[in-house]
Amino acid sequence: MTSPGSPWPSPASPPPEPGPPPVPVPAAPATKKQSGVRNAMEWVLIIAGALLVAFLVKTFLVQAFYIPSGSMMPTLKEQDRVLVNKLSYDLHDVERGDLVVFEGPDQAPGAVKDLIKRVVGLPGETVEARPDGFIYIDGKLLEEPYLGPGITTGPLEPTTVPEGHVFVMGDNRGNSRDSRFFGPIEQSSIIGKAFVRVWPVPDFRFFF
C-alpha cells in the first residue's frame, strides 16, 4: 500500500510478537479405586501366565514323581522325588539301564497308577535269570553295578522281548513286581526317563 503522492511503497507492518507456548493440562490423577483395579489385573495376568507356563512344562517337558514303594532300593527309596524328562524318547531310543516311569498295567481303583523301574531288556532280546542269580541277555551275563550287595534275581525262564516293548525290573529284585510278573511293557506306555532325584535334598543325584 502506498501513501498518496509518494513514489515508494510504505513499509510492511511488523509481524505480531509470538505468544507464550501452550501449557499442557496434566491428566487427572487415578483414584485409589482405579489404581487398585489396575494392580489386581496385573497380578491376575502374571499368575495366569505362570500357571500356563507350569502347565506346558508339566505336560510336555518335565514332571515330578514320587517313589511309592521300596522296589527300587538301594537306588531310590520310598517317598523319594524324581524329575522325569518327557522328551527323552522323542529324541533317542530307550536304552538299557534307563530308569523309566510308565503307566502301570493294573489300572484298577486303588492300584498305583505310575511305576518306575529299570530297563533290562530291549526289543528282540532274550532275557533270563539263571540259578546263579544273575541276568543273561542273549546268553551273555549282564553286569548290574546298581544292585545292592547280595541282591540276586530269582530264576526266570528265557523271555524274548517283542518289538515295541522293553523288559523292566526293580533294583530290589526280591521286592519288586515288574516284567517278571506282568511281562514286557509297551514303549508307548513310557511317560519319560527319570534323570534326577530332587528329594530329599541331601540325596540329590543325577542319573546317567
- 86 tagged catalytic: no
Single-letter residue type at 161: V
Catalytic site residue from 71, 88, 176, 179: 71
| C-alpha to C-alpha distance for 170 and 115, rounded to whole angstroms | 10
Q: How many Å is the Cα radius of gyration of the chain?
A: 37
Cβ pair 72, 118 in contact under 8 A: yes
Is residue 108 helix, strand or coil?
Answer: coil
C-alpha cell of residue 57: 512344562
- 117 tagged catalytic: yes
| C-alpha to C-alpha distance for 159 and 136, rounded to whole angstroms | 11
Is residue 110 helix, strand or coil?
Answer: coil
Single-letter residue type at 55: F
Catalytic site residue from 86, 88, 117, 179: 117
* Catalytic center residues: 71, 117
